[in-house]
């Protein structure tokens, strides 16, 4: 059987995953789950979805790629059907940030145990970043990509129980690859870093830069339209957009620095 073909978004999610046993929450048709077995060397994947229809298709795909012995299918609302310590990595993708945070809250037993996280929020990534940092995770990596004209961010985070806590914010110190350790960051994430991702900003990510310029142009056009309306609601919205404009220009200034 040929290698399973993933979209750029799904490939970025699979590339971020690391471990032996994954819980693919909201697995849809299980293509990421299959890739983890066939290409990433995972020993087992628990493919879970709250909908029966996608799970039926997932089952057919799993059979087609001959990995039935390594992928379990479960009808599950979030972490509901995952046993404690059954997986070392959880993949949660393709949903809004607020729903993702809700799933993580309801899966507290797993985050308390330090399950690794690969997260791809469709909206409000700042809520996801803030929540995982607040419960003692560190963001190890982020990527931003374009898939069919839409912008996506994928976040990888691990728990750090033994780190010295500094207002619950962390950064990875990976100088010793054989003995990964962590230290507290010397400053908390700013709101701008929660919005757009500290790692993406520090890396001067080209796709983030492109996204921000497009968002700035979109906001400016909307402001012109709202100014013409002149209503009280329009004026409040203009204030919000002006604040977003300041955030975006702050990030673009940081990205432009040598």
Q: Is residue 243 part of a domain?
A: yes
Domain count, the chain: 2
Stretches in the chain below the pLDDT threshold 50: 162-186
Residues 103 and 26: their CA atoms lie apart, in Å, by 11
What single-letter DSSP state applies at residue 258? Answer: -
Instruction: State residue 161's pLDDT score.
Output: 58
Whether residue 199 is contained in a domain is answered as no
- The DSSP H or E segment spanning 236 is helix 232-256
pLDDT, tens digit, 9 for 90 and up, residues 140-157: 999 999 999 999 999 999
Do residues 163 and 98 make contact, with C-beta atoms less than 8 angstroms apart? no
Nearest-angstrom CA–CA distance, 111 and 84: 10
16 and 99 assigned to the same domain: yes
Same domain for 247 and 120? no
Residues 217, 246: one domain? Answer: yes
Per-residue model confidence (pLDDT) at position 255 = 92
Cβ contact 168:136 at 8 Å: yes
Does 178 lie in the same domain as 118?
yes
Spatial separation of the C-alpha atoms in residues 134 and 128, rounded to whole Å: 10
In a domain, 200, yes or no: no
Q: Give the domain CATH number at 16.
A: 3.40.50.150
Shared-domain flag, residues 121 and 160: yes
Two structure tokens written together for 199: 């790692």
Q: Do 32 and 156 fall within a single domain?
A: yes
Render pLDDT for 199-227 as a digit per residue (tens, 0 to 9): 999 999 999 999 999 999 999 999 999 98
- 233 in the same domain as 123: no
Q: Examine the domain organization and report whether 131 and 213 are in the same domain.
A: no
Assigned domain for 201 exists: no
Q: Where are the alpha helices (DSSP H) in 107-173?
A: 108-112, 125-134
Read off the tokens for 113: 């145990």
Residue 98 lies in a domain: yes
195: in domain = no
66, part of any domain: yes
- Do 229 and 183 share a domain, yes or no? no
Q: Quote the domain boundaries for residue 160.
A: 8-189
Same domain, 211 and 182: no
Residue 98 contacts residue 127 (beta carbons within 8 Å): yes
Structure tokens at 93: 């993708």
Check: CB of residue 19 under 8 Å from CB of residue 157. Answer: no
Q: Could you give the dihedral angle defined by the CA atoms of residues 99, 245, 145 and 115, in that order, rounded to the nearest 10 degrees?
A: -40
């Amino acid at each position: 059987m040929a290698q399973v073909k993933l979209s750029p978004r799904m490939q970025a999610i699979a590339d971020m995953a690391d471990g032996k046993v994954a819980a693919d929450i909201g697995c849809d048709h299980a293509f990421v789950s299959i890739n983890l077995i066939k290409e990433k060397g995972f020993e087992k994947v628990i493919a879970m979805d709250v909908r029966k229809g996608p799970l039926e298709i997932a089952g057919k795909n799993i059979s087609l790629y001959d990995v039935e012995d390594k992928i379990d299918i479960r009808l599950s609302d979030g972490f509901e059907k995952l046993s404690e310590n059954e997986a070392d990595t959880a993949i949660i993708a393709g949903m809004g940030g607020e729903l993702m945070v809700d799933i993580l809250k309801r899966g507290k037993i797993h985050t308390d145990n330090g399950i690794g996280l690969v997260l791809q929020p469709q909206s409000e990534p700042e809520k996801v970043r803030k929540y995982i940092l607040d419960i003692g995770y560190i963001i190890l990596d982020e990527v931003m990509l374009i898939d069919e004209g839409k912008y996506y961010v994928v976040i990888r985070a691990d728990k750090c129980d033994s780190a010295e806590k500094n207002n619950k914010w962390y950064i990875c110190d990976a100088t010793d690859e054989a003995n990964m350790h962590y230290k507290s960051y010397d400053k908390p994430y700013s709101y701008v870093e929660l919005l757009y991702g500290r790692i993406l900003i520090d890396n001067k990510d080209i796709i983030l830069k492109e996204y921000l310029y497009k968002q700035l142009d979109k906001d400016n056009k909307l402001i012109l339209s709202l100014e013409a309306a002149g209503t009280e609601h329009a004026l409040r919205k203009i204030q919000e957009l002006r604040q977003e404009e300041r955030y975006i220009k702050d990030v673009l200034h940081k990205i432009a620095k040598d």
